[in-house]
Chain A
Amino acid sequence: DTAVSQTPKYLVTQMGNDKSIKCEQNLGHDTMYWYKQDSKKFLKIMFSYNNKELIINETVPNRFSPKSPDKAHLNLHINSLELGDSAVYFCASSFAGWAGELFFGEGSRLTVL
């Protein structure tokens, strides 16, 4: 069983479209994250949720809206896609409390044309 699973793994779309990436974890963790890895491989946190509550929001454009229906799921919806949104988006999960190890999904590569 995959611990942190993301769908889709690859996504190609046109500028201006809206798309979603879904994430699910079966590890019983209570905290989930979205990280963005840009074309230079730089990884940066976007959002963090604990028990469906947003706890970290790192200066991300309003076009990005995370949604956590329950603590096992964290979805990322992106409106009005731009070329600069092309990246690999990683979902991760952990237990709350400091230094809980983060378990990452396989990433979703988004290409905006």
Chain B
Amino acid sequence: AQTVTQSQPEMSVQEAETVTLSCTYDTSESNYYLFWYKQPPSRQMILVIRQEAYKQQNATENRFSVNFQKAAKSFSLKISDSQLGDTAMYFCAFMKREYGNKLVFGAGTILRVKS
């Protein structure tokens, strides 16, 4: 079974600065996907970024980028130029390449952006 570990329960960052959230996972699969989801206080789950395991290039979406280290099974999220609206719970998630699209989530990291 796959497991996802987020070792930082809470983090804070000053507005406009950069922060990195950590995620490690355990799997014996070679084909899979990794995701970062954001859950603001509104409770809505929002996809931030997605990474295909077969792609060596790290995914980027505007101010959000990942550092994907497949051998180390590490998938960290970097948020540049942090904004107050980035305050949220961030979940790392794993999806095995199989019928059913089952997401396995980490425990989450609360990120607080301070002005």
Residues of the B chain whose Cβ atoms lie less than 8 Å from the Cβ of A40: 107
Residues of the B chain whose Cβ atoms lie less than 8 Å from the Cβ of A50: 99-100
Write the nearest CB–CB distance from B53 to chain A, whole angstroms.
Answer: 10
Closest-by-CB residue of B relative to A90 is: B45
Dominant secondary structure of chain A at its interface with chain B: strand
Contact flags (1/0) for B73-95 with A, using CB distance below 8 Å?
00000000000000001010001
- Residue in A94, A98, A107 with the greatest tally of chain B CB atoms within 10 Å: A98
**Is B112 interfacial (CB-CB < 8 Å)?**
no
Residues of the B chain whose Cβ atoms lie less than 8 Å from the Cβ of A88: 43
Number of inter-chain CB pairs below 8 Å? 65
Residues of the A chain whose Cβ atoms lie less than 8 Å from the Cβ of B104: 45
Size of A's binding interface in residues, CB under 8 A: 28
User: Bound complex: CA of A98 vs CA of B98, how far in Å?
Assistant: 6
User: Bound complex: CA of A39 vs CA of B78, how far in Å?
Assistant: 27
B101 partner, pick from A31, A90, A106, A109, beta carbons under 8 A: A31
User: Bound complex: CA of A31 vs CA of B103, how far in Å?
Assistant: 13
Closest CB pairs A-B (n = 7) = A104-B45, A43-B105, A99-B33, A98-B97, A107-B43, A56-B100, A55-B100
